């Protein structure tokens, strides 16, 4: 597609998270760590958070105010791993929210008394985006959004964190098969779409080559 993702560095994600409170903190942390789509996260019920199995079962999606009986692809309808650090955060939120029964939504709408999940784009506009601006991750001038380098950002939302996770895993040297399985892609070629390389990584790679081909008297930073 023509979707142009904005990729955050880990420290930028931390900076945004540090400005959030519950439940937005837990929601963004889960999306950033697991790569689940926001529609899948909002459709999640507590009975699908499997603490004893260190996993989260993804079954449905919540889109445009409607609950879907499936996910975007067949490969998406599976489980995602849940690290103990993420599990502890989810447990803390479950203890805090009044909607903590097995059939309650993890991110239930308080306004609708827990009968439906919250709305993703409203969470972005009311919480995630303001936090990103305050953290200095993005800026807005004359209604246009920019990154720290002054490049225009066409879209900023939860999906950026899915791209960010894929790019981070790639930079860490993880195998394409592992990345495919973690993000529940139907085919490994999706890495061509999600696997962005940061400028710092490109400079480091270029520097490695320069170290080999330039005179030893020239220091390559």
**Percent of the chain's residues with pLDDT above 90:** 48
What pLDDT, on a 0 to 100 scale, did the predictor assign at position 183?
82
Average pLDDT value over all residues in the chain = 83
User: pTM for the whole thing?
Assistant: 0.80
Q: Is the pLDDT of residue 214 over 90?
A: no
Tens of pLDDT along 97-131? 999 999 999 999 999 999 999 999 999 999 999 99
Select the highest-mean-pLDDT range: 8-12, 43-47, 191-195. Answer: 43-47
Non-local CB neighbours of 214 within 8 Å, separated by 6+ positions: 220
The mean pLDDT of 26-47, rounded to a whole number, is 93
**How far is CA 218 from each of CA 38, 201, 209, 213, 215, rounded to the nearest angstrom?**
49, 21, 13, 10, 6
Beta partners for residue 179, in sequence order: none
The mean pLDDT of 42-48, rounded to a whole number, is 95
Residues 38, 142: Cα–Cα separation, whole Å = 28
Q: Tokens representing 173? A: 């040297």
212 falls in which pLDDT band (50, 70, 90)? low
Extended beta strands in the chain, E state: 49-50, 55-57, 61-63, 66-68, 79-81, 139-141, 144-146, 152-153
Q: Are 177 and 47 in contact (CB under 8 A)?
A: no
């Amino acid at each position: 597609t023509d979707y142009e993702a904005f990729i955050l560095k880990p420290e930028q994600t931390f900076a945004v998270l540090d400005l959030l409170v519950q439940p937005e903190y837990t929601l963004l942390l889960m999306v950033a760590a697991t790569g689940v789509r926001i529609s899948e996260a909002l459709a999640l019920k507590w009975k699908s958070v499997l603490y004893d199995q260190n996993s989260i079962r993804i079954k449905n999606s919540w889109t445009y105010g409607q609950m879907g009986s499936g996910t975007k692809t067949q490969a998406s309808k599976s489980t995602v791993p849940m690290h103990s650090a993420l599990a502890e955060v989810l447990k803390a939120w479950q203890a805090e929210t009044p909607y903590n029964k097995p059939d309650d939504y993890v991110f239930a709408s308080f306004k609708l008394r827990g009968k439906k999940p919250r709305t993703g784009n409203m969470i972005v506009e009311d919480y995630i985006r303001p936090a990103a601006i305050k953290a200095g991750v993005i800026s807005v001038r004359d209604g246009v959004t920019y990154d720290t380098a002054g490049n225009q950002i066409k879209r900023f939302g939860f999906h950026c964190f899915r791209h960010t996770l894929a790019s981070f895993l790639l930079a860490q040297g993880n195998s394409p098969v592992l990345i495919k399985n973690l993000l529940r892609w139907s085919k490994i070629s999706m890495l061509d779409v999600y696997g962005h390389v940061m400028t710092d990584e490109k400079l480091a790679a270029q520097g490695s080559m320069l170290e080999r081909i330039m005179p030893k008297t020239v220091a390559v930073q």
